[in-house]
Amino acid sequence: MKNPITYIRQSLSRRLSLMVVLIATIIFVAALGFLFIESRKAVRQEAMDRASEVLDNTVLRVNSLLDRVVIATDNFEWLPVRHLETPDSLLTYTRRIIECNPDLNGCSISFEPNFFKDKGRYFSAYSYNNLEKGIIETEQEGNEQYEYFYMDWYQLAKLLDYPVWTEPFADYNPEAVYTQEIIASYCKPLKDREGKYMGTISSDISLEWLSKMVSSVKPYPNSYSIMIGQSGTFFVHPDSTKLLNETIFTPTLEHPDTALTALGHAMQRGETGMRQLKFEGHDSYVFYKPLGSTGWSVAIVCPESDIFGGYNRLYNIVIGIVVVGLIVMLFVFGRIIHRELLPLHTLAQQAETIASGEFNQTLHVDKRIDEIGKLNQSFSNMQHSLVNYIEELKHTTAMKASIESELKVASDIQMGMIPRVFPPFPDRQDIDLYASMTPAKEVGGDLYDYFVQDERLYFCVGDVSGKGIPASMFMAITCNLFRMIAQQNRAPWEIATQMNTFLTRDNEQSMFVTMFIGLIDLRKGILEFCNCGHNAPILDGKFLETKDTNQPLGLWECKAFKGEVIEDIRDKQLLIYTDGLNEAENMQQERLGDERLLELMADTAHLNSEQIINKLKDAVSRHRAGAEPNDDLTLLCLSLKTL
């Protein structure tokens, strides 16, 4: 039996068929996976929105009922206080409360033991709906068998001293028989005009009626509602055997379940939310929300099978269709590709002939007009043009090497025009000078120069417009002009005027150069300078402010350039630079900036000129972080020391 991998590798048609089906499988899986993931999210979100809306409406209806109970109780609170002298009238008032509020199951106004001396130890005016008879009955419910002032509904209001909802409990039958009617009471302490506690007024609602209200709405066929009290006890649940007998934590006693425990605690804390967990044996989504200030919490349990039932059926059908379709596709494409690729065998032999170097070998002509036929024709055309192409490639390579060699020579010539030996004046201990020029391309348009003549230090830094060969030629002319005119012992502004006159002649390309020209009297420390549109230098950590602004050299005729004088710059650092420093850009085209430049120069008093320039070049390199230089970078730093 053949190895399956070897069997596939031996045939291009098999590999192509398998790749087509594999790509189709990837596309189907990606597209359907994305579709089903998004669909599941949409179904889940729709279920959450739907269940949340149902829960909100249910809570709103229940809260509305509870609010009516509270309002009804509060509205009748003042009656007992005003009619303490006629306690029997309180029976009429409780009956009236029931008549005016059909939502109530019962109402009682209960007083402390022996509050009314003529009534004995017990007095609780109680009215309730007798649903079997369809009437409202009223009576005094306190007696030795039912000492109401020991009941939770009475004691809670008394001890807490504020209105409170009780946990649900079994209602008491006046005939001393406990019924199956489960109620919850809103209890409020009664106080006299001096604020002394007298008793409790309570209003009851039927949990059976409340349960029907809560359970009447279902977002899904198998969903159901539950309601728990502050202790977690069920008092609304589809399984009536759990009412008042089990809590939400009961299943965790035998089988610990952290998710269910967390849900119970969240509902006890009065939180609102949704949790996905296994509830009563089924994977479910549980949506919960508190009921006002009662301390109760209601939840809607939606089985996951209800929410995703239709989604899962559709998922299985689509997956089945895709699997069958891919199998059919593999068979059909295998047959088609095998038939269509038969001519490639001949074409492969022709390719081997050409690869062996026999470019003049006659190739088989294929009359097909599809891609294989075009490929055959391309091989034939390649046969006739390949030799010429190789010859042209040799010629082009030789020309490129020649150009690169010439650019290298031009770069060497340009760098040879500027002084590069440091220290520049070994015999002079009073001059600390260092300069550096780094072109952005093979050749650049920046320049600097300096020399000492008759105890006077002439220096300049310039930046020619543009880059490359034209800028380097203009730079060479400018360098020669500066040295030629400066050697005539001219002032910087006179040098600038004469250079501008020469550079503007026959300047059809409108090239120009910004330039800072300086002259220092080495005996007195006097600095004379002329700034021709150049960046402001930095003197002792601050930008050198100039009173007069001059144009760059070479733009147009100017009768005279203006200069300035600083009386003494001894023991001060002077930095002159081109905009390749402060305008250096990183990958995000963010510039180094003037503020960062001043920060770099703020603490350099202890450094010499070479150390300062190396520090600035390192800062530019770090700022670029691998980005190509956007401009030439030229720096000249000097200081005149007092000996």
579 and 445, same structural domain?
Answer: yes
Looking at residue 273, the DSSP 8-state letter turns out to be E
Residues above pLDDT 90, as percent of the chain:
11
What is d(CA 618, CA 616) in angstroms, rounded to the nearest whole number?
A: 5
Tell me the one-letter amino acid at 449: D
Q: Is residue 395 assigned to a domain?
A: no
Cα torsion through 29, 32, 33, 36, rounded to 10: -160
What is d(CA 204, CA 8) in angstroms, rounded to the nearest whole number?
A: 82
What is d(CA 484, CA 495) in angstroms, rounded to the nearest whole number?
A: 9
What is d(CA 125, CA 111) in angstroms, rounded to the nearest whole number?
A: 9
What is d(CA 434, CA 457) in angstroms, rounded to the nearest whole number?
A: 14
The predicted model gives 344-351 an average pLDDT of 67
What is d(CA 471, CA 331) in angstroms, rounded to the nearest whole number?
A: 68
pLDDT for 36 beyond 80:
no
Q: Is residue 402 assigned to a domain?
A: no
What is d(CA 429, CA 423) in angstroms, rounded to the nearest whole number?
A: 10
Q: Nearest-CA neighbor of 463 among 608, 581, 362, 612?
A: 581
pLDDT for 528 beyond 90:
yes
The predicted model gives 150-177 an average pLDDT of 78
Strand (E) or helix (H) holding 249 = none
**Tokens 């189907």 -> residue:** 28
The predicted model gives 593-622 an average pLDDT of 88
pLDDT at position 60, please?
85
The predicted model gives 487-510 an average pLDDT of 86
Phi/psi at 57 (5° precision): -65, -40
179 and 88, same structural domain?
Answer: yes
pLDDT at position 614, please?
92
What is d(CA 264, CA 258) in angstroms, rounded to the nearest whole number?
A: 10
CA R_g for the chain: 50
* Residue that finishes a domain, picked among 186, 209, 232: 209
Burial 599-634 (b: 16+ CB within 10 A, else e): ebbeebeeebbbebbeebeebbeebbeeeebbbbbb
145 and 53, same structural domain?
Answer: no
Q: What is the pLDDT of residues 306-326, one digit of tens each?
A: 888 777 888 888 888 888 887
Q: How many helices (H) and strands (E) does the chain have?
A: 16, 22
DSSP symbols for 274-290? EEEEEETTEEEEEEEEE
Q: Is residue 388 assigned to a domain?
A: no
Angle (CA) 73 185 198, round 5°: 60
163 and 52, same structural domain?
Answer: no
Band (187; pLDDT cuts 50, 70, 90): very high
Band (177; pLDDT cuts 50, 70, 90): very low
What is d(CA 506, CA 495) in angstroms, rounded to the nearest whole number?
A: 20
DSSP symbols for 179-200? EEEEEEEEEEEEE-TT--EEEE
pLDDT at position 13, please?
62
Looking at residue 550, the DSSP 8-state letter turns out to be B
275 and 179, same structural domain?
Answer: no
What is d(CA 536, CA 605) in angstroms, rounded to the nearest whole number?
A: 20
Tell me the one-letter amino acid at 435: A
* Residue 438 structural domain: 417-640
Range scoring the smallest mean pLDDT among 250-264, 323-337, 570-584? 323-337
pLDDT for 386 beyond 90:
no
pLDDT at position 519, please?
94
What is d(CA 552, CA 445) in angstroms, rounded to the nearest whole number?
A: 14
* Residue that finishes a domain, picked among 312, 338, 354: 312
Tell me the one-letter amino acid at 48: M
Contacts of 452 (CB under 8 A, 6+ apart): 425, 428, 431, 458, 522
What is d(CA 45, CA 232) in angstroms, rounded to the nearest whole number?
A: 28
- What region, left, alpha or beta, does residue 518 occupy, with left being phi > 0 and alpha being psi -120 to 50 degrees? beta
222 and 131, same structural domain?
Answer: no
82 and 57, same structural domain?
Answer: no
What is d(CA 147, CA 349) in angstroms, rounded to the nearest whole number?
A: 111
What is d(CA 643, CA 633) in angstroms, rounded to the nearest whole number?
A: 32
* Residue that finishes a domain, picked among 312, 330, 347: 312
User: Which one has a higher pLDDT value, 452 or 28?
Assistant: 452
Q: What is the pLDDT of residues 135-144, one digit of tens each?
A: 888 888 888 8
pLDDT at position 307, please?
81
- Whether the CB-CB separation of 553 and 503 falls below 8 Å is answered with yes
What is d(CA 150, CA 200) in angstroms, rounded to the nearest whole number?
A: 12
How many CB atoms sit inside 10 A of residue 329's CB? 15
pLDDT for 640 beyond 60:
yes
How many CB atoms sit inside 10 A of residue 62's CB? 22
**Tokens 């401009």 -> residue:** 631
91 and 59, same structural domain?
Answer: no
Q: Residue 82 corresponds to which tokens in the numbers above? A: 């005003």
Q: Residue 590 corresponds to which tokens in the numbers above? A: 């963010």
pLDDT at position 49, please?
82
CATH of the domain at 501: 3.60.40.10
Q: What is the pLDDT of residues 272-304, one digit of tens each?
A: 998 988 888 888 889 998 987 788 888 888 888
149 and 52, same structural domain?
Answer: no
527 and 434, same structural domain?
Answer: yes
What is d(CA 384, CA 402) in angstroms, rounded to the nearest whole number?
A: 29
Q: Based on the structure, what is the number of domains in the chain?
A: 3
Contacts 24+ apart (CB under 8 A), 504-508: 504/554, 504/555, 504/556, 504/557, 507/554
- Whether the CB-CB separation of 514 and 552 falls below 8 Å is answered with yes
CA 436 to chain CA centroid, Å, is 44
164 and 47, same structural domain?
Answer: no
Tell me the one-letter amino acid at 591: R
Q: Is residue 471 assigned to a domain?
A: yes
pLDDT at position 547, please?
81
Tell me the one-letter amino acid at 222: N
Range scoring the smallest mean pLDDT among 164-168, 172-176, 313-317, 352-356? 172-176
Q: Is residue 636 assigned to a domain?
A: yes
The predicted model gives 459-485 an average pLDDT of 84
User: Which one has a higher pLDDT value, 32 or 598?
Assistant: 598
Range scoring the smallest mean pLDDT among 343-357, 505-519, 593-607? 343-357
Contacts of 181 (CB under 8 A, 6+ apart): 105, 170, 171, 206, 208
CATH of the domain at 287: 3.30.450.20
128 and 235, same structural domain?
Answer: no
What is d(CA 596, CA 136) in angstroms, rounded to the nearest whole number?
A: 89
Band (577; pLDDT cuts 50, 70, 90): very high
Angle (CA) 432 438 442, round 5°: 150
According to DSSP, the residues that pair with 233 across neighbouring strands are 247
Band (460; pLDDT cuts 50, 70, 90): very high
- Whether the CB-CB separation of 456 and 520 falls below 8 Å is answered with yes
**Tokens 């502050």 -> residue:** 230
Task: Kindly report the length of the chain.
Answer: 643
Q: Is 128 helix (H, G, I), strand (E, B) or coil?
A: strand
How many CB atoms sit inside 10 A of residue 504's CB? 16
pTM here? Answer: 0.48
